[in-house]
Amino acid sequence: MQTTEVSSLTTSPPPTLAGQEILSVDGLSLSFGGVKALQHVSFSVEEGSVTSVIGPNGAGKTSLFNSISGFYTPSEGNVNFLGKNVNKIAPPDRAAMGMARTFQNIALFKGMTVLDNIKLGRHAHLKTNILEALFYFGPAQRTEAALRREIEEKIIDFLEIDHIRNSSVGALSYGLQKRVELARALAMQPKILLLDEPVAGMNREETEDMARFILDVKEEWGVTVLMVEHDMGLVMDISDHVVCLNFGQVITQGLPDEVQGHPDVISAYLGSGDVTALRKKFKEGR
């Protein structure tokens, strides 16, 4: 784990509906046989915020993300997105509604170029029929031209990856692959972006760059961010709200400073009540 310090941005954020929930999780439970991965998990994400989910390894963070995005079906509880219960909505349809995510283990097509990987992110919004796509004429040609223009002028420029747009993803460094995965998620035109350990395995410079991009996504693009992350420096620097899980349960949630000093969080991470040691650990990283 590495510590990340993020300088404040001067760009004024776009208008958002302050205090309005864009996503809520209500009493979510998930079991695998006799193993209870999630137990009555409840929290909400405000529009225009960065909400982070933290907790020790095995706390249920990725299971929570998989339940929210539709890869797992919870045994109890509800996931509400944009005021609608999405429990029975398939992952592609959730993506079409504006729910995009990245993965803990990079899920890119390594033999394809950066540009082609990013374009795949728009699949949920494309309306071209099979015949048009097969012969590549009319609307199919115009749609792809417009998509490529948008990606090149907005997303690639924003993430500073113009120099690798025609490179094979498999030839890129780990940090650049993470950036390409974020670009593909942004191509989905998300209303909420689910980031599963976005800086895992990155060095300090790469982590600081990713932190800057996440803040810009929120403040300049107006996209809400829900993030699972182990880098406590990053979490405490950029989060508006923090939810802490342990053994599949929410043990506390609130502002970063409140969560950092909570005795249950200290116990979950350290097994002791030493607040000074916990804060030192958050600052120095694992």
196 shares a domain with 86: yes
Tokens of residue 139, six digits: 């609307």
User: For position 147, what pLDDT does the model report?
Assistant: 64
211 shares a domain with 140: no
181 shares a domain with 203: no
121 shares a domain with 238: no
Residue 146's domain comprises: 110-189
Q: Mind listing the pLDDT tens digit for each residue in 197-238? A: 999 888 899 999 999 999 999 998 899 999 999 888 899 999
User: For position 137, what pLDDT does the model report?
Assistant: 54
CB 190 within 8 A of CB 223: yes
Q: Is residue 266 part of a domain?
A: yes
User: For position 58, what pLDDT does the model report?
Assistant: 87
46 shares a domain with 81: yes
Which pTM value belongs to this model? 0.80
Domain of 42: which CATH number?
3.40.50.300
Q: Is the dihedral of CA 38, 39, 44, 49 positive or negative?
A: negative
212 shares a domain with 70: yes
User: For position 13, what pLDDT does the model report?
Assistant: 36
Q: Is residue 54 part of a domain?
A: yes
Q: Is residue 53 part of a domain?
A: yes
Average pLDDT along the chain: 82
256 shares a domain with 216: yes
| Residue located via tokens 């796509």 | 133
Q: Is residue 212 part of a domain?
A: yes
79 shares a domain with 215: yes
Q: Is residue 105 part of a domain?
A: no
pLDDT per residue as tens, the chain (286 positions): 444 443 333 333 333 344 699 999 999 999 998 889 999 999 999 999 999 999 988 899 999 999 999 999 999 999 999 999 999 999 989 998 999 999 887 878 888 999 888 888 776 555 555 545 555 556 656 666 666 677 777 888 899 998 998 999 999 998 899 999 999 999 888 999 999 999 988 889 999 999 999 999 999 889 999 999 988 889 999 999 999 999 999 999 999 988 988 888 888 776 655 556 656 665 665 4
Give which of 1, 10, 23, 189 is closest to 95, Cα–Cα: 189
Tokens of residue 78, six digits: 């509800």
In angstroms, what CA-CA distances link 177 with 70, 193, 198, 259?
Answer: 24, 17, 11, 32
Q: Is residue 104 part of a domain?
A: no
Boundary residue ending a domain (154, 169, 189): 189
241 shares a domain with 141: no
- The count of structural domains within the chain is 2
Boundary residue ending a domain (141, 170, 189): 189
94 shares a domain with 1: yes
281 shares a domain with 208: yes
Boundary residue ending a domain (142, 171, 189): 189
Q: Is residue 13 part of a domain?
A: no
User: For position 9, what pLDDT does the model report?
Assistant: 32
Give which of 233, 277, 268 is closest to 52, Cα–Cα: 233
| Residue located via tokens 């300088």 | 7
199 shares a domain with 179: no
